[in-house]
Each structure stands twice: as C-alpha cells, then as structure tokens.
Amino acid sequence: MYLFPCILAYFPMTDIFEITALSLQVSTVATLVSLLIGLPFGTWLALGDFRGRSFILSVVNTGMALPPVVVGLVVAMTLWRSGPLGGLKLIYTPWAIIIAQTVISAPVVTGLTAAALAALDPRLQQQLLGLGASRPQMIWMLWREARLPLLAALMAGFGSVISEVGASMMVGGNIRGQTRVLTTAIVLETSKGEFERALALSALLLIITYLINLALTWIQQKGHKR
C-alpha cells in the first residue's frame, strides 16, 4: 500500500517507469526467445534416439547452472568492438541484455522441457502414431499432455532472467534511460550506500515477479483442474 509513495519519494515517476518497463521488456523477450529455442530443442532431446544424446543432455544440464557473470563476460567479448560481432554495435544496448539473458534462460527451458516430455509414458507416442497422428500432431499432443511442467519451465526461465544482474551489468553498462533495469539500479544504489532506495526498488522487483508468477501459477492450476 505504501510502496509506491515510498519509491516516488526517492525516484522521479519517469525513472521508475523507464526502469520497470525496460526490465519487463528485456526479460519477456529473452524468455520468449528461450521458449522458441528450448521447446523444440528439448523435444528433440526427449524424443530422439541418437548417438551423443546423453552428452548433449549433460551439456544442457550444465548450462542450467551457468554463472551469469561468465555469460556476461563471453557475450561482452563477443559484442565488443574488437569481437566477432562488434560490427553490429549491440554492446551497451537492451539487445545485448536480451542476448545475455537468452543464453542464461534457454538451457533452463530446454532442460526442463526435455525432462517433462521424457517423464511421459513412452507408449503414448506409439498409441498416437497408431491412431494415425502425424509426427507434428503427435508432438503437439505430447506438449498438451505435459503442459503443466512445460509452463513450469516457462516460469523457471523467466525467473532466471528477471532477477539476473551480473550479465546485464556487464553487457548493458547500467546506462540511465537506456540500459538500466531494476536489478542493476539496485546494485547502483547499494554501491552508493543508498540502502533505503535499494530496498524500495527490491520490493518493487519482488512484487512484479510475484504477480507474474502468480498469474502463470493460476493458469497452471486452472489447466490442472481440467
């Protein structure tokens, strides 16, 4: 109830809106891109039977625990002027943050997708194919069957990036009005000794994260009752 008046006592409304909006934008885009990558890739790993599958799964599972600062360092070196993608001039832009957060989130979505589909009864695939379903139709039905854990994978992917700070700071530079997000703003205020301002921003970040996960959980529970 008193959170927003408290925040506005420390920050201009425009600053709060810009920081919050950018945080949601980059994290949402990164999560959606991770879903576009992780859902088909995780499905391929779960349903495929090929040489090297266990190795790839172990790499994906290792990627789920990637330190964000390491991701930030690698992405920064890649996007830096002398890096292989330096000509794109993406360093210290929101796109650089999106790339870094996608690298963090994609293994999470991929690994949880593979685990969710692998947990299904393997006979279900044969039953669907035996009933005349094409392979794309079979995969769609498997996704529907595993929709609750897949939604959990989406929640985990979003959670891994909305609260991320190390990579965002390294590739975004925490530039006011351009790349400053809630987490990097919290770090900045803490470094200046402005703990009340940092706590106010932290509370805002927690509330936003809670509300988004509450909505996704409601969708998940609603699907469970069907």
Query: If pLDDT is split at 50, 70 and 90, which confidence band does 148 have?
Result: confident
Query: Of the given ranges (10-19, 87-96, 153-162, 167-176), which has the lowest mean pLDDT?
Result: 10-19
Percent of the chain residues topping a pLDDT of 70: 91
Output the pLDDT for position 124: 85
> What pLDDT, in 10s, does the model give residues 180-217?
999 999 998 899 898 888 888 888 889 888 888 888 88
Which has the higher per-residue pLDDT, 131 or 61? 61
Distance CA 14, CA 98 (A): 22
Task: Provide the pLDDT for residue 168.
Answer: 92
Sign of CA dihedral 176, 170, 201, 189: negative
Q: Please give the distance of CA 76 from its chain centroid, rounded to a whole number.
A: 18
Q: Encoding tokens for residue 146?
A: 């595993």
Confidence band for 1, pLDDT divided at 50, 70 and 90: very low
Which domains can be identified in the chain, with CATH numbers? 3-225 (1.10.3720.10)
Q: List CB contacts of 171: < 8 A, sequence separation 6 or more.
A: 72, 75, 76, 79, 91, 92, 96, 97, 99, 100
For 21-38, how does the pLDDT look when each residue is reduced to its tens digit (9 = 90+)?
999 999 999 999 999 999
